[in-house]
Homo-oligomer: A and B are copies of this chain.
Amino acid sequence: MPHPLITYLQRRDSLSDEEKSVLERMTHRQETIAVRTPIVRQGSRPTQSCVLLQGIAFREHLLRSGKRMISAVHIAGDFLDLNGMLLAKMDHGVRAASNCIVAWIPHGEIIRLSETHPHLGRLLWMTTVTDAALTRAAVSVVGRLPPPAKLAHMACELYLRMSEVGLAKNWSFDLAITQLDLADMFGLSTVHLNRSMQTLRATNAISWDGSRVVIHDWRKLTDIGEFDPTYLNLEPKPR
């Protein structure tokens, strides 16, 4: 399988062979993480960042009241906490939603890279900016879409993102996320999330049982979820 971070970046800009090999070398320190384990802890001060190579992870934020909000889902190829390099202290955590493989990169190495390979540095910058765009989209989804539309929007987003790195094809993909987590992703109760899921299924645009998601009618699904892929920043462009 090709390196998912390289696949991700090449989709958006061209990489020289030198740059590709820098990335390969940079991601050799791999580690396996068990399902539901924290990968980065809220409140910590990390000295390295990591790239997700396999599995599903999500960012979670614990509030003082004990409530939890999940602000992003990550798939192979995503940097999980590159933000952490430029922030002092983690305002949120990252947790494995399935068994995962990550590659750790010390911050110093990334800073050096931004000096020696500025173009690659800008591409890493771009990954954080694209990530921010996903978070902005999450604000609109949480704040303004009716619950079944939230689920539809998420299915559309993940289908496109997973397709990019070869994890989705023929209108279907695997998504190891429980309804409990989905509820915390949209600010809903689990009961209501479950009912919204049933409403969405009843449209016949999609089937979503357990971790198997199959899209039957893309057009209808994007209409329900008011989905506009602009924010995924899928267009190639020199940066």
Contacts and interface: CB of A to CB of B under 8 A. Distances in A.
Task: Report the copy number of this chain in the oligomer.
Answer: 2
A196 interface: no
B140 A69 contact: yes
A92 B65 CA distance: 31
Contacts of A131: 132
Contacts of A125: 86, 125, 128
A187 interface: yes
Interface in A196-222: none
Nearest to A232: B91
A137 interface: yes
Interface stretch (A23-31, A110-118, A162-170): A110-118
Nearest to A125: B125
Contacts of A114: 114, 118, 121-122
B126 A86 contact: yes
Nearest to A68: B144
Interface of A: 43, 59, 61, 63-65, 67-69, 71-72, 83, 85-92, 111, 114-115, 118, 121-122, 125-126, 128-133, 135-140, 142-145, 186-187, 226, 228, 230-231, 233, 235, 237, 239
